[in-house]
């Protein structure tokens, strides 16, 4: 008989990510990540798989985090990033065996890299101070005195980073892997991103915004650059996000992904193809009313970083599409033919595709499968498992399937979601139900493994989680519908989902309902308890309570508020009308407030205001602060704090439900 899942099972889970095929197409590498409880951190190591024998071998064994493995074009060497010496530096290892050697010692480390086709040079991106060439002489921090931080722009801080380094810019450089000689390629007080190198090594694609004042610049134009002359050709410069470029095998075309600024950050991401000779550009995915890419929210996969697009030699392109709660691998031809290359009810969170287009390496998860690496034959859909790191956990622990539901929300629109029964469910008994609300709001719940949801079922709760309007994976109209309507149709969608499952499932005890969510889900939790007393307990995490103060304190507040609420400080009344704090006097639901001390996205003052207001009003509330943690505590935070967070949630619901 299988046992119930526990909080501590987080340490049993293994992430399998970043599958990367070798040039010979007969072997591959991937990254395996797991919690190191002793060090209270994560270990990410490099593994190798022989596709013929299916033999899997560990290649690195350190306590560092390895990421971004990439073979040289001839397959004789593999480069990767590693935090072996605290900060990400570039390492190269011979693929026929031998020790890895460190090839960079840059002060701020390496952000990203690409092999030059010659196999003797690597292009990389790293941060450096204004006017300072790349250096091998890191500044000593011990004796540095505190200095004032002079703010002269609006984008001066970032969640996960804190205050941005002043007079520091990301630049592109080239390192000779044999001699160690470093050459700086880009110049000026601008930040560059490197996206692609042509097959013949004569051209690169980078993005840069050279506007003097970037406070209201939300674009990063893409350029095609001649390596020899440095002459630039503009590929796209509209407002929006563009990147993930890849050259076709004949260097005639360039594919990239991006979203224009039409619906601000709610705009669907599309796949573009640029003809290098003519300079013409087309949108290949116009016929799909769903976004290209992976928009799933969950709490397990570490370092999941899939390519934006992969070419085959016959000029087919492969890419992810988030649709109807799935992330599927799609294929497209240059003529516009398009079809899914994988099936329904799963989350393809990583992939690489053979040059021939015959097979793909895919990492796959679903609600009862943590995630493993598979060899997927594209023509037939046949699969072979290449890893089984989570098999013993899955065989030992009872994992609850998620039942897909569809119901009518606001405006009679279809809304999708899932219902999970409690572990050990017995027909005829009544059980409490917890409603979970995702962040974003432009993200989505999906057919993927979610430890927190499984934990709640193990604690004896049913779990309802839905994708209300504003969620990705559906139409452009649907994802845009939440903007300027926070607390309107989205609130109706969630409550309609609750009414639907109550009408269809007699096992749910309507007198014992809980609600929780983080970020936008935290905002919505706050909003719900201020507008209904149906819930007996609520937990709000990394939430927004006051749009007026959020405008000035969040790293994105001054533009996000306008994009999402449709108001700035010239319309304080509208910001306040959409603020849960305004309705605090209505809250009768016991509310636990949880927040990270170093959250720059939704700063902790949002929690402080709500807590003190509720305490002053003699409401039932609690407040838990997490030190040294940012907005991503539930996904990538210190393991002990992730355990503590889950215990606080389950204890609160246990007390009131």
Catalytic residue among 519, 549, 554, 596: 519
- Tokens standing for 305? 């970083």
Could you give the C-alpha distances from 569 to 47, 450, 549, in angstroms and in order? Answer: 52, 38, 10
CA distances from 522 to 11, 34, 592 (A): 26, 28, 11
Candidate list 195, 322, 631, 634, residue with the active-site label: 631
The phi, psi pair for 87, rounded to 5°, reads -115, 145
DSSP structure string for 190-226: --EEEEEE-TTSSEEEEEE---S--TT--B--EEEEE
- For 315-347, give the DSSP string: SEEEEEEEETTEEEEEEEETTS-EEESS-SS-E
> Which whole-number Å values give the CA distances from 395 to 11, 363, 370, 399, in the listed order?
16, 19, 12, 9
CB 463 within 8 A of CB 434: yes
| Residue corresponding to tokens 């065996």 | 97
561 CB burial (10 A radius; 0-12, 13-18, 19+): buried
Distance of CA 470 to the CA centre of its chain: 17
Between the two ends of the chain, the Cα-to-Cα distance in Å is: 27
DSSP-derived secondary structure for 624-651: EEETT--TTHHHHS-HHHHHHHHHHHHH
| Cα distance between residue 302 and residue 399, in whole Å | 20
Active-site annotation holds for 519: yes
d(CA 600, CA 618): 29
CB 585 within 8 A of CB 617: yes
Dihedral over Cα of 549, 551, 555, 561: its sign: positive
Number of Cα atoms under 13 Å in the Cβ half of residue 515: 28
CA–CA separation, 138 vs 622, rounded Å? 45
Q: Rounded distance, CA 486 to CA 46, Å?
A: 43
Buried residues in 405-437 as b, exposed as e (16+ CB within 10 A): bebebbeebebbbbbbbbbeeeeeeebbbbbbb
Distance of alpha carbon 550 from alpha carbon 558, whole angstroms: 8
What is the distance, to the nearest Å, from the Cα of residue 245 to the centroid of all Cα atoms in its chain?
A: 19
Q: Is 11 a catalytic residue?
A: no
CA distances from 221 to 169, 213, 556 (A): 17, 15, 20
d(CA 487, CA 493): 10
Q: Which residue numbers are catalytic?
A: 519, 631
């Amino acid at each position: 008989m299988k046992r119930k899942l526990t909080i501590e099972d987080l340490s049993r889970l293994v992430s399998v990510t970043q599958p990367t095929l070798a040039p010979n197409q007969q072997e591959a590498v991937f990254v395996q990540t797991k919690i190191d409880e002793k060090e209270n951190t994560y270990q990410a190591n490099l593994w190798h798989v022989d596709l013929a024998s299916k033999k899997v071998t560990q290649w690195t064994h350190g306590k560092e985090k390895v990421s971004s493995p990439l073979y040289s074009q001839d397959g004789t060497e593999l480069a990767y990033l590693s935090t072996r010496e605290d900060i990400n530096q570039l390492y190269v290892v011979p693929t026929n065996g031998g020790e890895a050697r460190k090839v960079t010692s840059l002060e701020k480390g390496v952000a990203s890299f690409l092999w030059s086709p010659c196999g003797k040079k690597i292009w990389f991106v790293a941060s450096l101070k204004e006017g300072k060439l790349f250096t091998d002489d890191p500044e000593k921090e011990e004796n540095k005195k505190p200095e004032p931080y002079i703010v002269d722009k609006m984008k001066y801080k970032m969640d996960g980073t804190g205050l941005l380094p002043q007079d520091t810019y990301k630049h592109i450089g080239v390192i000779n892997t044999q001699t160690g000689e470093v050459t700086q390629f880009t110049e000026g007080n601008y930040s560059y991103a490197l996206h692609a190198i042509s097959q013949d090594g004569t051209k690169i694609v980078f993005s840069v915004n050279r506007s003097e004042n970037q406070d209201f610049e939300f674009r990063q134009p893409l350029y095609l650059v001649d390596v020899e002359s440095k002459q630039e050709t503009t590929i796209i410069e509209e407002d929006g996000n563009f990147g993930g470029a890849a050259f076709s095998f004949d260097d005639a075309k360039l594919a990239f992904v991006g979203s224009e600024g039409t619906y601000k950050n709610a705009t669907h991401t599309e796949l573009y193809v640029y003809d290098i000779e003519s300079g013409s550009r087309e949108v290949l995915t116009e016929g799909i009313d769903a976004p290209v890419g992976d928009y799933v929210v969950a709490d397990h996969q570490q370092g999941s970083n899939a390519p934006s697009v992969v070419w085959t030699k016959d000029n087919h392109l492969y890419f992810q599409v988030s649709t109807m709660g799935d992330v599927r691998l799609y294929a497209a031809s240059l003529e516009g033919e398009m079809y899914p290359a994988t099936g329904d009810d799963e989350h393809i969170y990583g992939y690489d595709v053979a040059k021939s287009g015959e097979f793909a390496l895919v990492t796959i998860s679903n609600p009862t499968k943590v995630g493993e690496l598979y060899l997927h034959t594209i023509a037939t859909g046949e699969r072979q498992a290449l890893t089984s790191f989570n098999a013993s956990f899955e065989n030992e622990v009872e994992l609850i399937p998620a039942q897909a539901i569809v119901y009518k929300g606001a405006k009679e629109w279809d809304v999708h979601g899932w219902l999970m029964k409690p572990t050990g469910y017995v027909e005829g008994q009544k059980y409490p139900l917890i409603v979970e609300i995702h962040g974003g709001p432009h993200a989505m719940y999906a057919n993927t493994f979610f430890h927190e949801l499984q934990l709640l079922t193990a604690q004896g709760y049913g779990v309802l989680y839905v994708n209300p309007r504003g969620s990705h994976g559906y139409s452009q109209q649907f994802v845009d519908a939440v903007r300027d309507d926070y607390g309107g149709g989205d609130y109706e969608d969630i409550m309609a989902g609750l009414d639907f499952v109550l009408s269809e499932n007699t096992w749910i005890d309507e007198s014992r309902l809980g609600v929780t969510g983080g970020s936008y889900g935290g905002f919505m939790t706050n909003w719900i308890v201020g507008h209904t007393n149906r819930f007996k307990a609520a937990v709000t995490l990394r939430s927004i309570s006051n749009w007026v103060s959020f405008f000035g304190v969040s790293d994105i507040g001054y533009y996000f508020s306008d994009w999402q609420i449709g108001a700035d400080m010239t319309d304080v009344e509208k910001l306040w009308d959409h603020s849960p704090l305004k309705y605090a006097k209505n809250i009768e639901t016991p509310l636990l407030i949880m927040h990270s001390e170093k959250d720059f996205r939704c700063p902790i003052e949002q929690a402080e205001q709500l807590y003190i207001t509720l305490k002053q009003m003699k409401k039932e509330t609690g407040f838990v602060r997490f030190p040294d943690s940012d907005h991503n505590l539930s996904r990538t935070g210190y393991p002990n704090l992730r355990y503590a967070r889950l215990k606080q949630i389950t204890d609160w619901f246990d007390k009131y439900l």
